[in-house]
Amino acid sequence: MNADDDILARRLAVTLAQAATALPGPPDGALGAVRRRFDRRRRRLRLATAAAMACVALATAATVAGPYLGLRPSPAAPPDGAIDLWTLDVAERNPGLRDRIDAYDRDSGVGVRLSTFGNDAYKTVLAAPWPDPAPDVYENWGGASLAGPVRAGRAADLTDAVAERPEVAGALLPGVLAGARVDGRLYGLPMTGVQPVVLFYHKKLFADAGLSPPRTYADLLRAVDVFRDRGVTPLALAGGERWPALMYLAYLTDRLGGADVSAAVAAGRPGAWRQPALARAAALCQELVRHGAFGDTADVLRYDSGDASRSLADGRAAMQVMGSWEYGSQLHSDPAFAARDLGWVPFPTVAGGAGDAADLVGVPANYLTVDARSPYRAEAVDFLLRTVTSDRYLDGLLEAGEVPAVRDLEPRLAGRPHADFARFAHGLAAAAPSFTLVWDQALPPAVAGELLDRTAQLFRLEITPEAFVAAMAATG
């Protein structure tokens, strides 16, 4: 695909996302099922083939995409001067977001137009060069996904605006706000809840096997052997997407070497990949593979499509290491399982390791950032300040199974059915001595891509731990 085709594909992907967002809410029955199938297929869209496929899909979408294709405006569309807000599609689970958008449309006279994307498509659409058309507000993970736009002048400095609204800054966990700082300045506000990576497990399977959830790596290895012998995949791994495997490597590195080692890797410091804890962590990953921890289908399971999560819910797998968003996914797709048999514990410790058992790996939060070149910059900043700590928005996060990144969460949990998990995840985040951003988000895209490729090879036993370290050290 040449540069012109790439630009066309990205523009079409944006148009399709906007068209899909413009669809009316599905009624009960067959139409709702059709829309859900459409949504799932849209999330699986691969940008590599978008230049060809999007033209066909665009023709289908044209009848509902008027406001985005220059056709007859939809009466439900925001006015022509609208703040374009781009997020991942999981944002749709927060009913408070739509409520706040509607309120801002009504009260400010400036519309907010939400476009949502699947994970892989979103990363491609936001890749350099900056997309055209560009969003006014966009979701990001902090780390390199925020530092790049800051350096390119596509992120508005929110430091002074937030300082003038102490009720906003004072409500949020300082450790989460730190994830949106670049060179000491603030460029984002948390859109999601706190997202530590934890170990989820199937309570009934563990009870049937007479096991307690693993607290140490030795416990984990023992559980792997037991479940393998019982014909159950011990750990659901969405190896069809490379990033879930990286969570094991990052956590084991932290547990073995401590937060300083993890931080050195995340910051891309010279010599970071040569630290002994990394090679030892890579060896433990391969030990899990050789014990059959991930079964025979890890290379084809995907997370975005729900494959790995379903295998945990239906009892084909006993555990899954995943970000706290897994709770919301299970709550959304299988609420009975989430309420009855879904359990969770922190990622296991490693005997003799230098890491603190309370250290976390994950995503402190996903952030909303305003494009510094937006013609609606002032309005967009105002929208963020009104939204992210509002009662309706925070309550919406809780309804979606997320854990708001606020200091005082307990009063919001009264009478809520998901309070146990919220207390667990919030307690981890509030008490963590270190909260390391997952490496594929912390590192620049080229290095992250190499890391994901090499991690996949490591888990397929195609390279040794030493070869993995050497390959990554060569990236700088």
- Checking if the pLDDT of 54 tops 50, the result is no
Query: Where are the alpha helices (H) located in 126-186, listed in sequence order?
Result: 144-151, 159-163, 166-169, 174-178
Residues 420-446, mean pLDDT to the nearest whole number: 92
pLDDT > 70 fraction of the chain, expressed in percent and rounded: 83
Confidence bin at 36 (pLDDT 50/70/90): very low
Lowest average pLDDT, out of 13-27, 124-138, 210-224, 269-283, goes to: 13-27
Q: Tokens at residue 362, please?
A: 């994950």
- Checking if the pLDDT of 64 tops 70, the result is no
* Confidence (pLDDT) at 12: 64
- Checking if the pLDDT of 339 tops 90, the result is yes
Q: Which residue has the higher pLDDT, 284 or 1?
A: 284
* CA–CA distance, 231 with 292 (Å, rounded to integer): 11
Find residue 349's DSSP bridge partners: 216
Lowest average pLDDT, out of 107-116, 230-239, 380-389, 463-472, goes to: 107-116
* Confidence (pLDDT) at 39: 41
Residues 287-294, mean pLDDT to the nearest whole number: 97
* Confidence (pLDDT) at 74: 32
Number of Cβ within a 10 Å radius of residue 420? 11
Instruction: Choose among 172, 149, 151, 284: nearest CA to 224.
Output: 284
Contact 199, 344 (CB under 8 A): yes
Give pLDDT tens digits for 211-236. Answer: 999 999 999 999 999 999 999 999 99
- Checking if the pLDDT of 65 tops 90, the result is no
* Confidence (pLDDT) at 457: 97
* Neighbouring C-alpha atoms within 13 Å toward the C-beta of 454: 23
* Confidence (pLDDT) at 83: 97
Q: CA distances (Å), 15 to each of 67, 97, 255, 260, in order?
A: 10, 21, 44, 43
* CA–CA distance, 39 with 53 (Å, rounded to integer): 16
* Confidence (pLDDT) at 46: 37
* CA–CA distance, 135 with 126 (Å, rounded to integer): 10
Residues 325-353, mean pLDDT to the nearest whole number: 95
The domains found in the chain, sorted by start residue, are 1-77 (no CATH), 81-194+364-407 (3.40.190.10), 195-362+434-473 (3.40.190.10)
* Confidence (pLDDT) at 45: 38
The chain-wide mean pLDDT, for the chain, equals 86
* Confidence (pLDDT) at 3: 55
Give pLDDT tens digits for 144-201. Answer: 899 999 999 999 999 999 999 999 999 999 889 999 999 999 999 999 999 999 999 9
Residues 262-287, mean pLDDT to the nearest whole number: 94
Q: What DSSP line would sit under 90-103, residue for residue?
A: GGGG-HHHHHHHHH
Q: CA distances (Å), 6 to each of 50, 62, 213, in order?
A: 9, 21, 47
- Checking if the pLDDT of 15 tops 80, the result is no
Give pLDDT tens digits for 82-119. Answer: 999 999 998 988 999 999 999 999 998 899 999 999 88
Collect all residues with Cβ–Cβ distance below 8 Å to 321 and sequence separation of at least 6. 197, 198, 199, 200, 235, 244, 247, 248, 251, 347
Q: Which residue has the higher pLDDT, 127 or 430?
A: 430
Contact 346, 245 (CB under 8 A): no
